[in-house]
A and B are shown apart, each in its own frame.
Chain A
Amino acid sequence: MMAGSLILQTGTRLLLPLLLLFSVFLLLRGHDEPGGGFIAGLVAAMAFALYMFAFDVYKARAILRIDPRNMLGIGLLLATVSGVPALLQGRAYLTSLWWDVEVPLFGELKLSTPLVFDIGVYLVVIGTVLTIVLALAEAEE
């Protein structure tokens, strides 16, 4: 693949962290406002895809650090495991459980099994999109 333009590369360097931050923001607000694991995952995957277009596949893989196929596995594992605590309490699999944790300076933090589940969704979506996109791009070389 051809190397992208300097403008695109510089822009991407700035955009990538912003987009990733935005995707985490979307992921965390998802339960109350538009967002959620699926949308957030798409945004994050797109950020890396942009990086891939601006530079090349190898740089994209390098900055990703983790193989997207492993992300698939970790995501599936998180989503599957998030249903287990309910089982341990004798309730149906995947019943949501909530804990309110007081964090100094931040205030109340709502932790829950659906959040873990949503992080699983997030990782699976990133993993799926990037597995396909990177493989396609590599096949092109």
Chain B
Amino acid sequence: MLFAILSIFVVAALAPVVHRATGRHSGWVLALLPAALFVYFASFVPTVAAGETVRLAWQWMPGLDVQFSFLIDGLSLMFALLIAGIGVFVVSYAGRYLEGHRDLGRFYVLILSFMGSMLGLVLADNIILMFIFWELTSITSYLLIGFNHEQLKARKAALQGLIVTVGGGLALLAGLVLLGVASGSWELSEILAGEDSLHEHALYLPLVILILLGTFTKSAQFPFHFWLPNAMAAPTPVSAYLHSATMVKAGVYLMARLNPELGGTELWTWTLGLFGAVTMFTGAWMAIQSTEIKKLLAYSTVMALGTLTMLIGIDSPYAAMAGATFLLAHSLYKGALFMLAGSIDHGTGEKEVPNMGGLRRAMPLTAAFSVIAALSLAGLPPLFGFVGKELMLEAALGAPDALGVVLPLLAVASAILVVAVAAIVGLRPFFGARPEYARTPHESPGAMLAGPAVLATLGLIFGIFPALAQPLVVATATSIHGADPEMQLKLWHGINLPLGLSLLSLAAGLVIYRFWDSVRAGIGRVMAPAFRVAPERGYDRFMDGLVWFSAFQTRVLQNGYLRTYVMVTMLTTVALVLATFATLGGLEITVSFADILVHEWVIAALVALAALFVATTNSRLAAVASLGIIGFGVSLIYVFFSAPDLGITQVLVETLTVILLVLVLFRLPGFLKFSNPLTRVRDVIASLVVGVTMTAVLMATLGVQYFPAISEYHIAESEPSAYGRNIVNVILVDFRALDTLGELFVLALAAVGVYAMIKFRAEDRKS
């Protein structure tokens, strides 16, 4: 398992080489990897269908309870199969769609890394591991959406997606940590198997809110839905992948995963039910107003995500079945439709649906698969989408309390709109009069049709023979809700209310399709004021505000005056320290001058006098010299108190300081008086406060010892286990080598920073 996931990243790293070696067939060659993974995951189906789960674990950071642990049950297996299966076609499709693109190699790296992250996310058992993969999907999808990075639109959309999902990711991290603390385990399998319900836990409310913030942003739930349609700026294979099986489904996955533990409360049901239903309707509503084919599909994805969220919220056996079925059906038809949309674009150069028509002769295969996939989207028998829709309506009708009224209403309204959307993308481009196209319409190559063909046909086969999909779907529903004998897949449910609602939505949807152009214009007029308060405006405002605030705080805090930095840093430190002393106490100072020897008095007095002189002198050279006296005085103190290493270091650093000062001294302007008496009084007071506080802290720490000092351990272990007698050095290079390594990087960064500062200024002067 670990090998399976790591193999993707390894292949991703090698992808550009493979691409160069295999040329125009690189798509097919690289698609072998997801194909192999698909077979590997498929081998788990019998086990999982029998109701068992598989858990595999490797140690990673045992001290932090983080390990590479993976869990295969119905839910994760369903997702893994979708990710790998659709991945096969996305990669092979991309090989042809982006043929000749100079960055195709880079594209493979990104899409494969994304695939690996997504697989890791759905398979991870450890919640920290899952979160790491979660963030990896955000980052890789950012790079994928912004693949055409020369376009401002693509960059903007990528950044928007990143900020929304990573912002939510922060909330999610906090939520997951709370979940781990509340449940006492960091493994999903243990959390789900836990006896105690978390419903009564004090942290239940905050952890649910935080986790939902993460999943809602990732899965583009209202009011965060706006980033998803903008993500259309990505190349088509990416859209097909992001929208069908991956990325946006990650949030749905997590909600479904945690439903058995967190679900069942009013908070969970109402939040998911309402937000899901509103998202569902918003998506369908926005879709009907769009004219760009990919945007239509994107909004219908928003609608599907809302539906899934709603179904998870309802939390009944029916809803779980509906969710699992809808998930599979949607992945199949949405993946197909996106690839077909790309195929139309590829064949005609046209993206706007109103400008399309009459393509059925020029692109017969594209037309055929589009119709099949669109029928599934519309939820017509005998397609798999019909099975999902029937279950969905049934589940919505069965929702508790007032939700049982609200949800079906929104569901039917959405269903009507979706029928229209399906007709728009499945019929409009292929029938009717044929307008002029930028390119002479031609059918797409096999690599671009293989995916839609397989996915659309599967939608048909699963619809006619639901029993084929049943084992996996039931296993998935069992993971979401728990086992239930009622869980069965049937194409025909008999004549009942959901069927009636289906027929109603079909009729109404076709009417809307017939008058689509005028409907769109009408909605456009009505909705114009609403767009001014749309959530995306909120995002824009937020970003503007962020930029404004950054500029403001940079002006105030980082104004380029060293004196301001020092003042702010010191006073903040002092304020925090004093606040701690005031609230927690602990300021016990016992001073005894008895043990101090004469020469120590002398050095201390010398240092103090030199410091006073530095602060008052008017000569820069004298100030530097006095600073030297202070430094050497301090190093003498080190030597007296038997810290030769510190003493040597101090002497060397003093010498270095002198060298640096000599180098810059002549470049400084003459000694001018920048400050008026008032600010100097202020500075004196500030220095006194800082000095007195630091002295007090030092004195206080001498009197208090909360823990046994670790130095005892260092002294005892230095020689036997680290083979060194110089404890300072042993600590630096052995006991705490990781700290030192971090400091080395800081040091190197500082050097590079100083270098850049000096060189750029020099260049500025020249030009």
Write the residues of chain A forming the contact surface with B, with a CB cutoff of 8 angstroms.
Answer: 30-39, 42-43, 45-46, 49, 53, 69, 72-73, 75-76, 79-80, 83, 93-94, 96, 98, 110, 112, 114, 117-118, 120-121, 124-125, 127-129, 131-133, 135-140
A33, B660: Cα distance in complex, Å: 29
A83, B741: Cα distance in complex, Å: 10
Residues of A within 8 A of B732 (CB): 36-38, 118, 121
Q: Distance (Å) between the CB of A94 and the closest chain B CB?
A: 4
- Inter-chain contact B649/A38, CB cutoff 8 Å: yes
B612 within 8 Å of A by Cβ? no
- Inter-chain contact B726/A128, CB cutoff 8 Å: no
- Inter-chain contact B656/A39, CB cutoff 8 Å: no
- Inter-chain contact B652/A96, CB cutoff 8 Å: no
- Inter-chain contact B751/A131, CB cutoff 8 Å: yes
A53, B659: Cα distance in complex, Å: 9
6 A-B residue contacts at CB 8 Å? A32-B724, A35-B726, A36-B728, A36-B732, A121-B744, A133-B663
- Inter-chain contact A43/B652, CB cutoff 8 Å: yes
A73, B749: Cα distance in complex, Å: 11
B641 within 8 Å of A by Cβ? no
Residues of A within 8 A of B748 (CB): 72-73, 75-76, 124, 127-128
- Inter-chain contact A36/B733, CB cutoff 8 Å: yes
B742-762 Cβ-contact flags toward A at 8 Å (1 or 0):
001101101110110011011
Q: Distance (Å) between the CB of A91 and the closest chain B CB?
A: 12
- Inter-chain contact A132/B660, CB cutoff 8 Å: yes
- Which residue in chain A gives the minimum CB-CB distance to B723? A98
Q: B652-672: which residues lie under 8 A (CB-CB) from chain A?
A: 652-653, 655-656, 659-660, 663-664, 666-667
Contacts A118-B733, A127-B748, A135-B755; A34 near B666 (Cβ below 8 A): no
Residues of A within 8 A of B715 (CB): none
- Which residue in chain B gives the minimum CB-CB distance to A124? B744
- Inter-chain contact B755/A69, CB cutoff 8 Å: yes
- Which residue in chain A gives the minimum CB-CB distance to B733? A114
Write the residues of chain B forming the contact surface with A, with a CB cutoff of 8 angstroms.
Answer: 644-645, 648-649, 652-653, 655-656, 659-660, 663-664, 666-667, 722-726, 728-730, 732-734, 737-738, 740-741, 744-745, 747-748, 750-752, 754-755, 758-759, 761-762
Q: Distance (Å) between the CB of B636 and the closest chain A CB?
A: 15
- Inter-chain contact A136/B660, CB cutoff 8 Å: yes
Residues of A within 8 A of B663 (CB): 133, 136-137, 140
- Inter-chain contact B741/A139, CB cutoff 8 Å: no
A8, B762: Cα distance in complex, Å: 29
Residues of B within 8 A of A114 (CB): 722, 724, 730, 733-734, 737
Residues of A within 8 A of B728 (CB): 36
A49, B659: Cα distance in complex, Å: 8
- Which residue in chain A gives the minimum CB-CB distance to B649? A39
Residues of A within 8 A of B762 (CB): 138-139
- Inter-chain contact A136/B758, CB cutoff 8 Å: yes
Residues of B within 8 A of A127 (CB): 748, 751
- Inter-chain contact A124/B747, CB cutoff 8 Å: yes
Residues of B within 8 A of A96 (CB): 722, 733-734, 737
- Inter-chain contact A32/B725, CB cutoff 8 Å: yes
A39, B737: Cα distance in complex, Å: 16
Choose one: B645, B738, B747, B752; the contact of A94 (CB below 8 Å): B738
Residues of B within 8 A of A31 (CB): 723-726, 729-730, 733
Residues of B within 8 A of A72 (CB): 748, 751-752
A121, B748: Cα distance in complex, Å: 10
A31, B734: Cα distance in complex, Å: 10
- Which residue in chain B gives the minimum CB-CB distance to A90? B59
- Inter-chain contact A128/B751, CB cutoff 8 Å: yes
A79, B655: Cα distance in complex, Å: 26
Residues of B within 8 A of A136 (CB): 660, 663-664, 758
Q: Distance (Å) between the CB of B352 and the closest chain A CB?
A: 52
> What does DSSP make chain B's interface, helix, strand, loop or mixed?
helix
Residues of A within 8 A of B653 (CB): 42
- Which residue in chain A gives the minimum CB-CB distance to B750? A128
- Inter-chain contact A46/B726, CB cutoff 8 Å: no
A38, B728: Cα distance in complex, Å: 11
Q: Distance (Å) between the CB of B65 and the closest chain A CB?
A: 16
- Inter-chain contact B761/A139, CB cutoff 8 Å: yes
Choose one: B655, B659, B729, B759; the contact of A30 (CB below 8 Å): B729
Q: Distance (Å) between the CB of B674 and the closest chain A CB?
A: 23
- Inter-chain contact A35/B755, CB cutoff 8 Å: no
Q: Distance (Å) between the CB of A11 and the closest chain B CB?
A: 16
A36, B649: Cα distance in complex, Å: 10
- Inter-chain contact B741/A94, CB cutoff 8 Å: yes
Additional pairs, 6, CB under 8 Å, beyond known A35-B729, A79-B741, A121-B733: A31-B723, A32-B724, A75-B744, A114-B722, A114-B733, A121-B732
- Inter-chain contact A76/B744, CB cutoff 8 Å: yes
Choose one: A32, A79, A135, A140; the contact of B726 (CB below 8 Å): A32
A59, B385: Cα distance in complex, Å: 78
A98, B730: Cα distance in complex, Å: 13
Closest 10 CB pairs of A and B: A31-B724, A42-B652, A128-B751, A36-B729, A114-B733, A34-B644, A32-B725, A136-B663, A131-B751, A94-B737
Residues of B within 8 A of A94 (CB): 737-738, 741
Residues of B within 8 A of A128 (CB): 747-748, 750-751
- Inter-chain contact B752/A36, CB cutoff 8 Å: no
Residues of B within 8 A of A49 (CB): 656, 659
- Which residue in chain A gives the minimum CB-CB distance to B762? A139
Residues of A within 8 A of B655 (CB): 46
Q: Distance (Å) between the CB of B411 and the closest chain A CB?
A: 54
- Inter-chain contact A133/B726, CB cutoff 8 Å: no
A110, B738: Cα distance in complex, Å: 22
- Inter-chain contact A140/B667, CB cutoff 8 Å: yes
- Inter-chain contact A33/B726, CB cutoff 8 Å: yes
A140, B667: Cα distance in complex, Å: 8
A128, B652: Cα distance in complex, Å: 14
- Which residue in chain A gives the minimum CB-CB distance to B738? A94
A73, B738: Cα distance in complex, Å: 17
Q: Distance (Å) between the CB of A60 and the closest chain B CB?
A: 12
Q: Distance (Å) between the CB of A1 and the closest chain B CB?
A: 9
A127, B745: Cα distance in complex, Å: 12
Contacts A96-B734, A127-B748, A132-B754; A33 near B723 (Cβ below 8 A): no
- Inter-chain contact B761/A131, CB cutoff 8 Å: no
Contacts A72-B751, A121-B733, A127-B748; A42 near B656 (Cβ below 8 A): yes
- Inter-chain contact B751/A132, CB cutoff 8 Å: yes
- Which residue in chain A gives the minimum CB-CB distance to B645? A34
A114, B718: Cα distance in complex, Å: 13
- Inter-chain contact B725/A46, CB cutoff 8 Å: no
A23, B738: Cα distance in complex, Å: 24
Residues of A within 8 A of B737 (CB): 83, 94, 96, 114, 117
Residues of A within 8 A of B660 (CB): 132-133, 136
- Inter-chain contact A45/B761, CB cutoff 8 Å: no
Residues of B within 8 A of A139 (CB): 667, 758-759, 761-762
Residues of A within 8 A of B652 (CB): 39, 42-43, 46
Q: Distance (Å) between the CB of B741 and the closest chain A CB?
A: 6
Residues of A within 8 A of B667 (CB): 139-140
- Inter-chain contact A46/B656, CB cutoff 8 Å: yes
Choose one: B666, B725, B729; the contact of A140 (CB below 8 Å): B666
- Inter-chain contact A39/B725, CB cutoff 8 Å: no
- Inter-chain contact B744/A120, CB cutoff 8 Å: yes
Q: Distance (Å) between the CB of B6 and the closest chain A CB?
A: 16
Of B648, B655, B663, B740, the most chain A CB neighbours within 10 A belong to B663
